[in-house]
């Protein structure tokens, strides 16, 4: 696969989704063909599963299985074909989110998550992960001002602190893939951090 796979990660309210369109425009200006997508979601089937994941009550194992089922369809139908065509894929969340939310937040067995990861897309990992890191209290204030909460966004601060710690663990395990973005900064400062990360890779 000759394309580039860039993922955007962070707790709800960190602002990552705000910057995806700007990154897409930046890379298109440089001549890249870019696809923007998201998880859970990205295909008709995965979007249906997304609604269940975000709104239907379920236990952590069911939640993890649905997340990976949506991801399997997304990888096969969207991500892998685009990378084979040499395109750049910008994805709002990927498997790091599962380790952070289901592993860190829910306390689900990360060994099981690692096995599911291997089954679903073990050969495929992002080329770059931009982690929008933000204190859980500040993220909660942003969420409250932005929208009605889904099942995850209704969780307490301790849940999101565990999610943030889950992201830190993923970064510690793959420091060459991750770039930490200080999401507490103003929008223009966050944008400069992103551009610097891309330029460091000559993208």
Output the average pLDDT for the chain.
93
Q: What single string gives the DSSP state of each residue in the chain?
A: --SEEEEEE-STTS-HHHHHHHHHHHHHHTT--EEEEESS-SSHHHHHHHHHHHHS---HHHHHHHHHHHHHHHIIIIIHHHHHTT-EEEEE--HHHHIIIIIIIT---HHHHHHHHHHHHTT---SEEEEEE--HHHHHHHHHHH----TTTTS-HHHHHHHHHHHHHHHHH-TTTEEEEETTS-HHHHHHHHHHHHHHTT-
Task: For residue 112, count CB atoms less than 10 angstroms from its CB and return exposed for 0-12, middle for 13-18, buried for 19 or more.
Answer: middle
Are 170 and 100 contacting, i.e. CB atoms less than 8 angstroms apart?
yes
For 99-156, how does the pLDDT look when each residue is reduced to its tens digit (9 = 90+)?
A: 999 999 999 999 999 999 999 998 899 999 999 999 988 988 887 766 666 788 788 8
Q: Where are the domains of the chain?
A: 4-200
Q: What are phi and psi of 137, to 5 degrees?
A: -65, -45
Of 100, 95, 116, 111, whose CA–CA distance to 152 is shortest? 100
- In the chain, the percentage of residues whose pLDDT exceeds 70 is 97
Kindly report whether the global pTM for this prediction surpasses the value 0.75: yes
CATH class for the region spanning 4-200: alpha beta
Q: What is the pLDDT of residue 2?
A: 86
> 164 CB contacts (<8 Å, ≥6 apart)?
11, 100, 104, 133, 134, 135, 136
**Which stretches of the chain drop beneath a pLDDT of 70?**
1, 145-149
Separation of alpha carbons 98 and 114, rounded Å: 10
Q: What is the pLDDT of residue 80?
A: 98
């Amino acid at each position: 696969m000759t394309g580039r796979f860039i993922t955007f990660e962070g707790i709800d309210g960190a602002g990552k989704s705000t910057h995806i369109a700007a990154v897409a425009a930046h890379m298109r200006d440089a001549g890249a063909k870019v696809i923007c997508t998201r998880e859970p979601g990205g295909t008709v089937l995965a979007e249906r599963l997304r609604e269940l994941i975000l709104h239907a009550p379920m236990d952590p194992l069911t939640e993890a299985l649905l997340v990976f089922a949506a991801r399997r369809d997304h990888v096969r139908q969207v991500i892998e074909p685009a990378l084979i065509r040499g395109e750049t894929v910008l994805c709002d969340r990927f498997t790091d989110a599962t380790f952070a939310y289901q592993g860190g937040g829910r306390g689900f067995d990360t060994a099981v998550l690692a096995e599911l990861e291997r089954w679903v897309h073990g050969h495929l990992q992002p080329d770059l992960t931009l982690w929008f890191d933000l204190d859980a209290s500040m993220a909660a204030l942003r969420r409250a001002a932005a929208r009605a909460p889904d099942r995850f966004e209704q969780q307490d601060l301790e849940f999101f602190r565990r999610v943030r710690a889950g992201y830190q663990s993923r970064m510690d395990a793959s420091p060459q893939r991750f770039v930490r973005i200080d999401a507490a900064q103003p929008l223009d400062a966050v944008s400069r951090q992103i551009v610097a990360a891309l330029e460091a890779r000559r993208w």
